[in-house]
Structure 1
Amino acid sequence: MANTSIVGFSGNITRPSKTFGFVDHVVSQIGRRNRLSAASWDIEDLGASFATARRASDLGDQAGTILRAVAEADLLVVGSPTYKGSYTGLFKHFFDLLDPTALRGKPVLLTATGGGDRHALIVEHQLRPLFGFFEAYSLPTAIYATERDFADGQPASEAFARRIDQALDEAGAALRSRIGFAVAAE
């Protein structure tokens, strides 16, 4: 299955972004572990047509390509910075442009970043219901991270690294189940 792909989408609106870096790290690890193609995008990649789009057909070429990549991915990794206890508005706007059936059954690994522990439930109380609406398969292990969870772009603690590994293992199992062949695991 040469077209099997892992796609990451981050709801950040600034660059550089810890959220995008985290999503891209997870996407790259899943791709590497399973020898599959992987790509990540964020709000900035969508271009000028995105902010005023009311439907997918209003999107420019770049944004339309990204929206199709998300819909066609075999596994999706999403992440948003926490903004006032939830995902960013532009993150939600992006998913509002998708057909409600586009993610049905698709494995989705949920991630979020925030300034402190009090926002850790964003993945359970905001992201999981959003992808439940789409009837996506949200993987059991979601990952919330703060700045202290990283040192030089790498997990800063054994416990955090184990949580990431657990999510990566679940992603591999979901891929094997979804695409029907033995995805190579390291």
Structure 2
Amino acid sequence: MPQTKIFGFSGNITRPSTTRTFVDHIVGQLAIKTRAVAQSFDVDDLGPSLLAAKRLDDLSAQARGVVDQMLEADVLVVGSPTYKGSYTGLFKHYFDLLDPTSLRGKPIIIAATGGGERHSLVVEHQLRPLFGFFEALAMPTAIYATRNDFAHGEVISEAIRMRVGRAVEEAAYAIG
């Protein structure tokens, strides 16, 4: 039986990034739980071809490779920093390039980070509808974290760790 593949994607364009750290944390927890192989990427990994791409064929071979790995994955962990109440533009552009049926039925953990609690509904009002459009199987537990939930590149909030654990359990169940 082939090994389960987990794909993490972060909508950040800076490094280091709290969002990437968060996505990596969730991916790592899911990989441990499911004994899966895992990899994570961010917008920066796609390179400059993303900016000009109007369709998948416009992407560089490197960027297209990232997309192909995502499409081949069994489960996704996707997160974006919150910018003015929503996900980032390049994050959305990445998903705009996909065929609307390409994520159908694919289990996905949605996450976001932001500067404060006022953005916490981004996971429900922005990310969940986006992946609903793709008919992805978004896990019931979405996770939003702020800067205060991290220290030295680690998740320090017990409440966030518990939400991550719940989302990981849901995803593990979904992939069987």
TM-score (norm 1): 0.91
Comparing 38-47 and 25-34, the one that deviates more: 25-34
Matched, 1:144 2:144: yes
Is the Cα contact below 8 Å between 2:22 and 2:155 reproduced in 1?
no
Alignment correspondent of 2:7: 7
Runs of 4+ in 1 over 4 A off after TM superposition: none
Matched, 1:173 2:173: yes
Comparing 25-34 and 109-118, the one that deviates more: 25-34
What CA distance in whole angstroms lies between the structure 2 residues aligned with 1:30 and 1:9? Answer: 14
Deviation at 1:3, TM superposition (A): 4.4
Matched, 1:37 2:37: yes
What CA distance in whole angstroms lies between the structure 2 residues aligned with 1:157 and 1:19? Answer: 15
Alignment correspondent of 1:180: none
Alignment correspondent of 1:114: 114
> Percent sequence identity over matched residues?
61
Deviation at 1:159, TM superposition (A): 2.0
What CA distance in whole angstroms lies between the structure 2 residues aligned with 1:98 and 1:165? Answer: 29
What CA distance in whole angstroms lies between the structure 2 residues aligned with 1:161 and 1:21? Answer: 13
Contiguous gaps of at least 5 residues in structure 1:
177-186
Alignment correspondent of 2:75: 75
Matched residue type, 2:109: L
What CA distance in whole angstroms lies between the structure 1 residues aligned with 2:45 and 2:161? Answer: 29
Contiguous gaps of at least 5 residues in structure 2:
none
Matched residue type, 2:139: L
Is the Cα contact below 8 Å between 2:21 and 2:154 reproduced in 1?
no
- Report the aligned-residue RMSD: 1.0
TM-score (norm 2): 0.96
What CA distance in whole angstroms lies between the structure 2 residues aligned with 1:18 and 1:166? Answer: 21
